[in-house]
Amino acid sequence: MLLSVIVPVRNEIDYIEPTFYSIIQSACDINCEIIFVDGKSTDGTFEWLKVETEKFKNCSLLINENKFVNFGFNLAFPKTTGKYIARLDGHTTYPKNYFKNAIKIFSANDQISIIGGPAIHKGLSWKGKTIANCMMNPFGVGGSSFRTSISEMYVDTVPFAIYRRSVFNELGLYNEKLIRNQDDEFNYRCRSKGYKILMHPELKTKYFVRENLTDLIKQYYSYGFYKPDVFELVSKGRSWYHFVPSMSIISIPFLLYLVLFNMMFFIPFLSYVLMCILVSIRCQDDFKMIFLSIMVFPCLHFSYGIGFIIGFIRVKLKNVVNSTL
């Protein structure tokens, strides 16, 4: 078997049809197997997949009783036989030649162990499109290359990656202690062992973002909350931009105190608001999107930063407790 595709999903009924058929189309004429792993969906995703997977001989469907992506991937991996392993998501559509291009790149360069592409963020509504534009802007997400760049480059992590099977044989599978950021942790682990991760523009995907601020806040809070766990396990992926939101939040009480003595210390607050406005004008298409964008950027920064602070404290307290046992 040349390729094994693993797709852990849960409650993706709004997106699963385009995702499913983009994978089927990309896998056409390739000797491959496609394993969907449903994490106990409650919105009809499992029922939809059950019907559709039975139409294709190379498709199968598993039930992930533990719900989360890491458990789903680890459940499916032992059942695979492919030379290459693709770990995809259900919130995304993939180009027609996604797998063929990936295999071609692997064949041309033995030094590359993991490849993926830029994730072009999309929204279904004008609110979703506004959020997508913010998430592809460096002011919104820092140095997250797969969100902000479409250039070919070596990176620390990439979404919807395709791996040589030998990578898992050497490093093991996903860490089941992580509910979020498990792909980041695994890719950082790969980098720490010298594996090269290539982001290639021929592997562009379309990633569908959250459609409202509430879901976006929950998503980025969880990203921040579990990031200290990732850095505790492997430090390779640490970068300055991971710490900017949390450090900025920590500085707020001190700046507010100093404002009582000197109004000059209010300048950082005004500068931040001004940046939100200017970047929103630059990256959005009309007034209502600009207005929403001015709120989206703080939601990204504060939800991630607060999550990171709480996650960091939790990790340190856990270490203290473990050291006393």
Provide the 8-state DSSP code for 160: S
63: three-class secondary structure by DSSP: strand
Q: What's the pLDDT band for 252 if we cut at 50, 70, 90?
A: very high
pLDDT > 90 fraction of the chain, expressed in percent and rounded: 76
The pairing of beta strand 153-154 with beta strand 84-87: unpaired
Q: Which residue has the higher pLDDT, 156 or 48?
A: 48
User: According to the CATH classification, is domain 1-91 in 3.20.20.150?
Assistant: no
Residue span(s) of the chain under CATH 3.90.550.10 come to 1-91
Burial of 263 (0-12, 13-18, 19+ CB in 10 A): exposed
pLDDT, tens digit, 9 for 90 and up, residues 50-109: 999 999 999 999 999 999 999 999 999 999 999 999 999 998 999 999 999 999 999 998
The pTM score is: 0.89
How many Cβ atoms sit within 10 Å of the Cβ of residue 159? 21
pLDDT, tens digit, 9 for 90 and up, residues 176-225: 888 888 888 998 899 888 899 999 999 999 999 999 999 999 999 999 99
Window from 113-122, 180-189, 221-230, 232-241 with minimum mean pLDDT: 232-241
Residue 325 pLDDT: 65
